[in-house]
Amino acid sequence: MQHVNIYTASGIRSPRAGSGTAGYILEVMTQNGPATLTKTAEILNATANRSELRILNMALKRLTKKCSLTIHTESGYVAAGIEELFRWQENGWKTSRGTDVANKEEWLETAELLNGHAFSVTTENHEYRAWLRSEVTRKE
């Protein structure tokens, strides 16, 4: 199974809905070294958490076959949510406190897009972080 790294960042940093730029890098190792695809997008009317989910889902939509994934995100919200994803599904998209999961529509899409992939998530620093951060903040 091929391995893909997904790196994401969002220029939207507020818990209040706003607009800004978010981006991702897809990285696949080839015989000639890493091959990357980079994309930035304008995210409208979204909180920081929702913008991170939207850009992750855009990246996941680019995958054409099942693979093993490592998702690299700056967002502790996304990392924690991915860890809880299947538990939320089993609980009818309710948190452990019995409240509705925030950003449910985006999480439903994430769950569907991750289905069949082997995946892990990390918030650790990576080689693309500074560059990706500059790409999503220079357009604001």
Percentage of the chain beyond pLDDT 70 is 99
Residue 52 has a pLDDT of 97
Least Cα distance to 24 among 113, 87, 94 occurs for: 113
Residue 140 has a pLDDT of 46
Which tokens go with 32?
């000639």
Residues 6+ apart with CB under 8 A from 138: none
pLDDT digits (tens, 9 = 90+) for 60-119: 999 999 999 999 999 999 999 999 999 999 999 998 899 999 999 999 999 999 999 999
3-state secondary structure of 11: coil
pLDDT score of 2 more than 70 = yes
The whole-chain average pLDDT of the chain stands at 94
pTM: 0.94
Residues 31-48 have a mean pLDDT of 95
pLDDT digits (tens, 9 = 90+) for 50-59: 999 999 999 9
